[in-house]
Structure 1
Amino acid sequence: MDALTRRRFLVASGVAGGAALAAGTGGAGLLDLLARGATVPTDAAPTNTLVLVTLYGGNDGLNTVIPYADPAYHAARPELAYDPERVLHLDDAVGLNPVLRGLRRIWDDSRLAVVLGVGYPNPDRSHFTSMDIWQTASPVEPVTTGWVGRWLDTTRAAPEAAVSFEPVLPPVLAGATRSGACVGVGGLDLPPGLTVEAVAGLGRIEPGESQMQARAAAAYRDLLDVDRLVRGAEEHPDPVPSVDGPQVLTTGPGTRSVLENQLALVARCVEARVPTRVYSVSLDGFDTHAMALPGHEALLTRLDRALSSFVARMAGTEAGRRVTVVVYSEFGRRVRANASQGTDHGTAGPVLVLGSQVAGGCYGEQPSLTDLDDGDLKATTDLRDVFGTVLAQVLDADPDQHLGGGYRARPLPLLRPT
């Protein structure tokens, strides 16, 4: 079977992500490593790992990291503002949403950094444009590569260096010559009438096929191997310590949130010492235009449970203690509540950084709630300074090579010296 026919099947069946990338980058590497539980050599030098958590929809930063002591906060959103006594105080000015109890305990352990007022110049309130800017780290001009993708390009990284456990590959992992791999948490979702046996047939190498055709066939075999791994993970729950007491974090459908399922797979890979340096996971639903309070609290509860369990689990191994988690969204919400007891698209918001290597505390300046830009916050920290810090301190890279527009990052002391 020729490679074009295989590719047409990929597009028609909607499973182009992982398999197509494996074929295109020439590597069964990540998929083979995941499926077989392979590990790096025991004498290999320890490396840091980055986990990017994207909150799609525009998270309400003012009700996540709350400026509870500012009268302007309570005046701007009387139906949505939290009473100061309910807020989980971080200092005498800001605190966490009351449902973020797990994150508060991570803060108490000095493993949570809160970067305040993160944004970019001339902010855009479109979900798609703003997320593109965050993932490419290029607010000045549009580019086709993500900041992690450019790191993959310049380091000539292997295909397994970056992986997304999301439905599609996010732009942040796309480079010009290399890209991360995309492996769905739910396993292989075949169209009606198509069997696993038929897909296995696409993975058989036929006599006389070219090297490219053989690589495409290998991608199909790897796709099925990963499907078996994910299905096996669903059947075998992982005991995970929780900051609120013992819990069991499973990967079964309907038992935990999508983010928890994704982080459970990240944890298994980290503990198996799979040589992936960057993981991308996500949680959707943060576009809270109406009746925001209960919906936003439900989303933050899922986020809190997923992150606190993951960080607790990672603290238990040497490889896990070298994991840094960065949580961000495409923009915050407007300062003033709307007429539907919700909030509309805004600009700057907080970024959370978690892990055993993180130097806890607040960084940057909380934006003014009265000196506004057409009703929106003025960013006080450039997103490129945050991602530049991550490139330098987690991925051991020169940030100025990977940030858009020739920007020179101003590093933040987010991580402890090692």
Structure 2
Amino acid sequence: MCKFNHARRQFLRTASLTSMSGFYASPFLLGLNSLAAMAQGSSMSDYRALVCVFLQGGNDGHGTVIATDPTSFSAFTQARSGAPGLAYPLSELLPIVPKTSQNSRTFALNPNLTGLQNLFNAGRAAIVANTGTLIAPATKAQINANSIPLPASLFSHFDQTAAWQAIASNGGSAEHVGWGGSVADLIESMNVNSNSMFTCISTAGIALFLAGQSSFQLNVTSAGPIPIYGTAQPLFGNSAGSSALQSILTADETNLFAKEYEVVVNRSQQAQQLLATAMAPAGVGGIPNPPQYLDPVTNMLTDNQLAISLQTVARIIAGRATLGVNRQIFYVQLGSFDTHDGQAQQHARLLTQLGQAFEYFDAQMVAAGLGNQVTTFTASDFGRTLTSNSDGTDHGWGSHHFVVGGSVVGGDMYGQYPVIGVNQANDLGAGRLIPTTAVDQYAGTMARWFGLSDGQIKTVFPNFANFGSSPYLGFLG
């Protein structure tokens, strides 16, 4: 009996995850997002949300947060002198002054990050320097001597995306639980009355980040929740097909597997209907539409897709009372950061969207009275090389990240900004940065703000204790 129950639970979980991952048992299940109903609860005044903005492809941290003291800037300029447009003139950079000195060095942001400069100067944004996937602190000597465990398949998009999003960097692509989903699992036991069906939400398809043991993720677009194919519109263009499908979905099944799967499907339909009703409208009478951004390449006004995704997040947050949630975790994505070539133009375009989208979203949260209750942060596969390959940069490791919100102890830089140049202490070659801050520390700091205890954080992040007696970074109050 025990073996049967275990096998049954595993089947149901696998079936649910399969339906969300794009491997569908039959065509009418396209778009299905399996959801587990979990009982949670707490006061709506205790609402908090984490919003992960994943910069897919590996953002060039070297060209995002730039050290401008003479020694550092000279080394940066020299390393990128062979790549037109990647060695920015000092006069074009956006200066910032962190509250805490980094060995008397000076800093600036990429010329296209005006929005984030505004947030940083207003004390609503912080920078977390040289962050990346680690199992334990690692030095160049230890890596060269092969005496320290390292994340699997460094510099691989697939594996390092998984390492960033999973509960343990050493799991890599073999890991099936994300730290966002694992945090959501623990929130389930903390909040016994609220509706956890709407805890984990993605605007960018199914993400490992939101995969939990008991929590499930809902996939939405700017048009709203994605309906089950064949129920929201005629199946194969035939209303009779949709009616037959609905009959199947509501039939009284006797097979345990079919019966439970039917419960999941029906729960998904109910969730989609409720979310469609609860979401605030876009535009007039709801969440204002984001302004277009001026494309620095074409010099034309263009829709900011990241801002539109964050508008969708804001519309869902606006419906939190109807949905019955006091904790939510969101995943959004901005792609095309794999800039091996054409980086000068592509990176300018992407960072313009990033800065404007963050400023827009933060303003919406402040206007909603949630400025201190929503924290937005960046993540990415990895950083990129300091040296150029003539027209772009190649895969790196550590990078610099932004955290935004009213609870952020902003206007400052956390972690250790590296010495710039090749053959430095943190250079693994070509300016690939060995991280000095672990994803576990970065994420654990946010998980504690979200409401997890120290013990729960060590459960979510098995390697957390490897980073000292107090691995927290202090960028959240």
TM-score (norm 1): 0.81
**Are 1:186 and 1:230, in contact at CA under 8 Å, matched by a contact in 2?**
no
The match for 2:349 is 298
**Are 1:10 and 1:20, in contact at CA under 8 Å, matched by a contact in 2?**
no
CA distance in 1, matches of 2:434, 2:93: 24
- Alignment deviations for residues 274-303 of structure 1 (CA, whole Å, 9 cap, x no partner): 414211111111000112111110011111
The match for 1:144 is 176
- Alignment deviations for residues 104-157 of structure 1 (CA, whole Å, 9 cap, x no partner): 111111000000111134361000111111001422344321112222334446
Deviation at 1:369, TM superposition (A): 2.2
Deviation at 1:20, TM superposition (A): 3.8
Matches within 5 A, 1:207-286: 207-209=251-253, 211-212=259-260, 214-219=262-267, 221-222=269-270, 225=273, 233=281, 238=286, 240=288, 247=291, 256-273=303-320, 274=323, 275=325, 276-286=327-337
Aligned partner of residue 168 in structure 2, secondary structure: coil
Q: 1:61 to 1:271 in 2, by over 3 A?
A: same
Structure 2 residue 198 is the aligned partner of structure 1 residue 160: yes
CA distance in 2, matches of 1:200, 1:256: 39
CA distance in 2, matches of 1:350, 1:15: 40
**Are 1:68 and 1:83, in contact at CA under 8 Å, matched by a contact in 2?**
no
CA distance in 1, matches of 2:414, 2:441: 11
Aligned partner of residue 340 in structure 2, secondary structure: coil
- Write the letter of the residue equivalent to 1:53: V
The match for 2:60 is 60
**Are 1:26 and 1:215, in contact at CA under 8 Å, matched by a contact in 2?**
no
1:392 to 424, 439, 448: 448
The match for 1:402 is 460
1:202 to 245, 249, 258: 245
CA distance in 2, matches of 1:293, 1:356: 32
Structure 2 residue 137 is the aligned partner of structure 1 residue 94: no
Contiguous gaps of at least 5 residues in structure 1? 31-39
The match for 1:359 is 409
The match for 1:126 is 156
**Are 1:331 and 1:348, in contact at CA under 8 Å, matched by a contact in 2?**
yes
Deviation at 1:45, TM superposition (A): 4.1
- Write the letter of the residue equivalent to 2:176: T
The match for 1:103 is 116
The match for 1:380 is 436
Moved more, 353-362 or 158-167: 158-167
The match for 1:35 is none
Q: 1:343 to 1:226 in 2, by over 3 A?
A: farther
- Alignment deviations for residues 20-50 of structure 1 (CA, whole Å, 9 cap, x no partner): 412xx247x99xxxxxxxxx98x54412211
Q: 1:403 to 1:81 in 2, by over 3 A?
A: same
- Write the letter of the residue equivalent to 2:133: Y
The match for 2:139 is none
Contiguous gaps of at least 5 residues in structure 2? 1-11, 98-104, 135-149, 190-195, 294-300
CA distance in 2, matches of 1:151, 1:363: 23
CA distance in 2, matches of 1:336, 1:207: 62
Deviation at 1:257, TM superposition (A): 3.1
Which of these two proteins has the greater Rg computed from alpha carbons?
2
**Are 2:287 and 2:311, in contact at CA under 8 Å, matched by a contact in 1?**
no
Deviation at 1:239, TM superposition (A): 5.5
Aligned partner of residue 160 in structure 2, secondary structure: helix
**In angstroms, what is the RMSD of aligned CA positions?**
3.5
Q: 1:44 to 1:240 in 2, by over 3 A?
A: closer
CA distance in 2, matches of 1:351, 1:224: 33
CA distance in 2, matches of 1:54, 1:170: 10
**Are 2:280 and 2:315, in contact at CA under 8 Å, matched by a contact in 1?**
no
The match for 1:413 is 474
Aligned partner of residue 57 in structure 2, secondary structure: coil
1:288 to 309, 331, 339: 339
CA distance in 1, matches of 2:88, 2:271: 47
Identity of paired residues, percent?
Answer: 26
CA distance in 2, matches of 1:231, 1:161: 14
- Alignment deviations for residues 289-320 of structure 1 (CA, whole Å, 9 cap, x no partner): 11211111001111112111000111112334
- Write the letter of the residue equivalent to 2:474: P
